[in-house]
C-alpha cells in the first residue's frame, strides 16, 4: 500500500498494479478494494493484473483473460459474470 501511495504522489495518468491483493489479509484486501474504487471515482485509470477473481470482479470494469500470452476473452465484468462457458473453461468457476 505504501508503494501505491508513493506512486500516486507523482500524479500518474495510469496506475499499473501487478497482483495487488497477493499475500494480504482479507481485511487489508477489503480496504485496498475500497481505495481502488475511490481512485476510480476520481477518474484515475488503473491497469491491473490479478489472479483473485473475487477481488478483480469487485474493482474492475473490464476483463481480459490471458492464456499462454494470448487473449482468450475480453469484455465487461458483467459480460464475464454472465459467460458461464468462459468462467468454467478459464477461471474454473
Q: Do both 7 and 43 map to the same domain?
A: yes
End-to-end CA distance of the chain: 29
Please tell me the distance from the alpha carbon of residue 48 to that of residue 75, in angstroms, as a whole number: 15
Q: Do both 79 and 41 map to the same domain?
A: no
Q: Do both 42 and 3 map to the same domain?
A: yes
Structural domain span for residue 23: 1-49
Exposed (0-12), middle (13-18) or buried (19+): which is 21, by Cβ within 10 Å? buried
Is 54 contained in some domain?
no
Place of cell 459480460: 79
Q: Express each pLDDT in 17-68 by its tens digit.
A: 999 999 999 999 999 999 999 999 999 999 999 989 899 999 999 999 999 9
Is 56 contained in some domain?
no
**SS3 at position 76:** strand
Q: Do both 9 and 45 map to the same domain?
A: yes
Taking the whole predicted model, whether its pTM rises above 0.85 is answered as no
Q: Do both 29 and 71 map to the same domain?
A: no
pLDDT value for 77: 94
Amino acid at each position: 500500500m505504501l508503494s501505491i501511495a508513493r506512486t500516486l504522489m507523482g500524479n500518474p495518468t495510469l496506475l499499473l498494479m501487478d497482483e495487488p491483493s497477493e499475500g494480504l489479509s482479507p481485511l487489508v484486501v477489503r480496504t485496498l478494494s475500497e481505495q481502488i474504487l475511490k481512485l476510480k471515482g476520481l477518474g484515475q485509470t488503473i491497469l491491473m493484473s490479478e489472479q483473485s477473481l473475487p477481488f478483480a470482479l469487485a474493482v474492475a470494469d473490464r476483463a481480459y483473460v490471458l492464456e499462454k500470452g494470448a487473449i482468450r476473452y475480453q469484455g465487461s465484468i458483467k459480460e464475464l459474470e454472465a459467460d458461464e462457458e468462459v468462467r468454467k473453461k478459464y477461471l474454473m468457476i
